[in-house]
Structure 1
């Protein structure tokens, strides 16, 4: 079994664009979960069923049906973040970026910017902001999601950080020179 240091060295060799020593899975937050304990158990059960049906409808290409199911879930438990997050996905797939951002904002507020849903909503909002050329806002969302344990968000935050990109480029060049010492002489 490889030590943490061995994994860090291998990560730097096989993925030179990531910061040295940064091994996916190491130092990640524990598995995130949403605290649904404050909701009525029967209502929560109904809402979760609606959300599962909504996800199935969206996967089957029935975005209108999915939106209706997610909206029903929001209506039943308007203080629960998950249905807003799911509805945002369906809205985004329909091309309604403004509606998706509104639902993601609401999901982030309701989740307190934490838990599984908060993390997912931050990543989704970061992606939409990045597409909208709101780089600073996108980076902030990715950094927050990364602090919650999202490896994808961490990678996106690094990509949007000009200093990290420069350091990663220099590190990549050093590693390439170490791998191919004759290449630097030929240039």
Structure 2
């Protein structure tokens, strides 16, 4: 039976460098020769120019959206296809606009009685809070909607408990940019 101490002496110890010298890592000069490549130019489906002013267009022609949830709150980011449209979107996307767009989703029935609509609108005004933040680094808006998801994913009776399909509702809204 071999002694553990003897076994340790037979093992080779390797010293790992703490840093790598510049000479040991080849660095590109920043230029890549693509002359021998068969490249196809792909155009983006998104415009490289601002959205039209004074004309109603669906929001999806101006921006895209990403939706998330946390408990009873949801948030969505509105990212314009043309980053300079962010200033014009800020004029349209207000807490009142968000509540107006989302409040019909809170109806318990597709054919609510007018009294139920009035009651819903009052509840939305008192309980749903909307916060809008500009995310300057990526030219987008982050919209937080509080108390909108029927008590959150675990308790909600909705089909779309996370609120992901709400992005389609928002994107389908007709907007007129200034």
TM-score above 0.5: no
Which has the larger share of helix? 1
Q: Radius of gyration: which is bigger?
A: 2
Where on the TM-score scale, by shorter chain, does this alignment land: which range?
under 0.3
Which has the larger share of strand? 2
The TM-score normalised by the length of structure 2 is 0.23
By relative contact order (CA 8 Å, sep 6+), the higher-ranking structure is: 2
The TM-score normalised by the length of structure 1 is 0.22
